[in-house]
Amino acid sequence: MKFGPRHAVIWALLLATVTLVAAQFRGRGYTNITGISSGGELGGKEGEFHFIRVEYRDIYRAQRGFGFGSRSGIGRGWWMVDWPEADDHVSLGIQRLTRIDMGEPRHLALTDERLFDYPWIYATQTGWWNLSDAEVERLREYLLRGGFLMTDDFWEGEQWRIFQETMTRVLPDRPILDVGPDEPIMHVLYDVDITKRTFIPGLRHLWNRGGQAQIMQPAGTTPTWRAMYDGDNRVIVAANFNMDVGDAWEHADWPIYPEAMTALAYRFGINYIVYSMTH
């Protein structure tokens, strides 16, 4: 069979698709630049703060048996999206922009007892998680003992329903509320104006046109910041809805990714972290 221009286009499209998928899951099964392996092992530089990504059981692994196993027992899944680059980049950024003594980023299963050693945890793709009863119980205990959870990269409709139902299991007496522009968490270090509804895109929402990034925001989505509070009106869960902060961290050094969105994503992350350490 002759290989003509039409076949070249098809192969280019296939390559682009594979590259995009690889970008989302590039951390799977590898050791990151900080020397932390994919089994939840702790290592590397100690510090007063560590970026902690949580491992969790997701809906596809539970229903279809997806996952390839790991020493933590969780296996590969949606919790690994943007790992380890997002964690590495934002940790370096926090070290540079604040006086926080940053340790190496780490990841732990929700059921790991060591979770209580850290005041702040991050979970991505929470529109696809399917927490076990043990994970729900542990997350509830973690939050009520003063922990802080940042959630990210989940979208309208079905994903919001899954997230909301899960958090109702975790904290049945606590509603999920929209964050107002005067909420202290948006001003603890940086003043972030959420009334502008700035969309923080994932890499899949960008199109390179002549070296300039064109943003394609999904139809019907509005960037929304929501939160859950404890009895002292302290934010304990920050929900970044209809945006992809993790991609903005991960691709901070990519020329195509808009600098303004990366800068905003860093401000959100740093505000959440400083808030968790001071409130």
In this prediction, residue 77 carries a pLDDT of 84
Residue scoring higher pLDDT (160 or 77) = 160
Residue 111 has pLDDT above 70, yes or no: yes
Lowest mean pLDDT among 98-102, 106-110, 183-187, 255-259: 255-259
What integer pLDDT is reported at residue 76 of this predicted model? 62
Please tell me the least confidently modeled range out of 50-59, 74-83, 189-198, 259-268. 74-83
How do the domains of the chain map onto residue ranges?
5-278
pLDDT at residue number 119: 96
Q: What is the mean pLDDT of residues 87-96?
A: 94
Fold of 5-278: Rossmann fold (3.40.50)
Question: What pLDDT score does 156 carry?
Answer: 87
For residues 15 and 193, give the distance between their C-alpha atoms in angstroms, rounded to a whole number.
39
Instruction: Indicate whether 51 pLDDT > 90.
Output: yes
210-269 pLDDT per residue, tens: 667 788 888 889 999 999 999 999 999 999 999 999 999 999 988 889 999 999 999 999
- pLDDT score of 13: 35
Strands (E), 160-242: 177-178, 206-209, 212-215, 224-229, 235-241
Average pLDDT of the chain, as a whole number: 82
What integer pLDDT is reported at residue 239 of this predicted model? 97
Where is pLDDT greater, at 5 or 220? 220
Q: pLDDT value at position 61?
A: 55
Report CA torsion sign: 99, 106, 268, 207. positive
Give residue 203's pLDDT. Answer: 83
pLDDT cut 70: percent of the chain above it: 77
Average pLDDT over residues 82-98: 94
Residue 74 clears pLDDT 90, i.e. is over it? no
Residue 79 has what pLDDT?
Answer: 94
Quote the pLDDT of residue 75: 46
Which residues, 6 or more positions from 259, have their beta carbon under 8 angstroms from its beta carbon? none
Q: Which of 70, 103, 105, 74 is nearest to 88 (CA)?
A: 105
Q: Which among 199, 139, 183, 189 is positioned nearest to 163, based on CA atoms?
A: 139
- Annotate 13-54 with three-state secondary structure: HHHHHHHHHHHHHCCCCCCCCCCCCCCCCCCCCCCCECCEEE
Residue with tokens 């800068």: 263
Question: Which band of pLDDT confidence, cut at 50, 70 and 90, is reported for residue 17?
Answer: very low
